[in-house]
Amino acid sequence: MKNLRSQATPQGAEDLAVRKQRRSLDREAGILIAKDLFHERGFDAVGIAELTRALNINPPSLYAAYGSKAGLFERCLAVYVEEANLPADKILTDDRPLHEAMTDLFLNAAALYTRSKVKRGCMAAEGMRSADPQVRALANGYGDAAASFIERYIRQTQPQRSRELADYVVTTLQGFSAAARSGLSRPRLTKVASLAGQSFEALLAPTSGSHP
């Protein structure tokens, strides 16, 4: 009996140590780990089991820390937008011609969305296509804010056409994200970005029936 206790005690101590280690979750570090998974695979493809393995916690601890899988994604998306999103506010400045600024935006997007071999595209844009309505709403919130910023910028020089031109820009950027996710190489996507810039400049050219 004594021998049985001596054999059981180390195993019990080991189990207790594992449980304590799992309970001591660093929430901020967990967000960074989960963000990489969501960016690489997409929200829908990453399951709770994979998240808990990556974070070295059990499902109840994940829910206690983040509320839900969607709640964790919300925190990940906020970090992504703050640290790795397309910096439109630094590219679309008032001292630049409109077509030049938009071409630069397209080129920067092509470079950003293909920077990593595994984390490709825009995490927010891909979240808009999630099957989860809460995640779509979260991603669309960021997308709507970006679209509004682009439209306000265009309105300064093209007030009559700001909505349609902004729709063109936003739709083009979303297409870049999807193409990057599907594996289009950086050189090819960069060429597409250059063509998009040329197309945008052509859209600004006055038509034959317009007046100065």
Look at 24 and 129; give whichever has higher pLDDT: 129
Q: In the chain, pLDDT over 90 holds for what percent of residues?
A: 83
- For residue 194, CA distances in Å to 3, 75, 149, 189 come to 76, 34, 22, 9
- 91 and 175 in a single domain? The answer is yes
The residue out of 30, 62, 82 marking a domain boundary is 82
Average pLDDT over residues 49-74: 96
64 and 94 in a single domain? The answer is no
pTM value is 0.83
pLDDT for 24 equals: 54
**Are 104 and 192 in a shared domain?**
yes
pLDDT, residue 2, reads 45
Q: Return d(Cα 210, Cα 121) in angstroms, integer.
A: 38
Last residue of a domain, one of 82, 109, 143: 82
Sign, CA dihedral 181-186-191-195, equals positive
Q: What is the predicted pLDDT for the residue at 207? A: 62
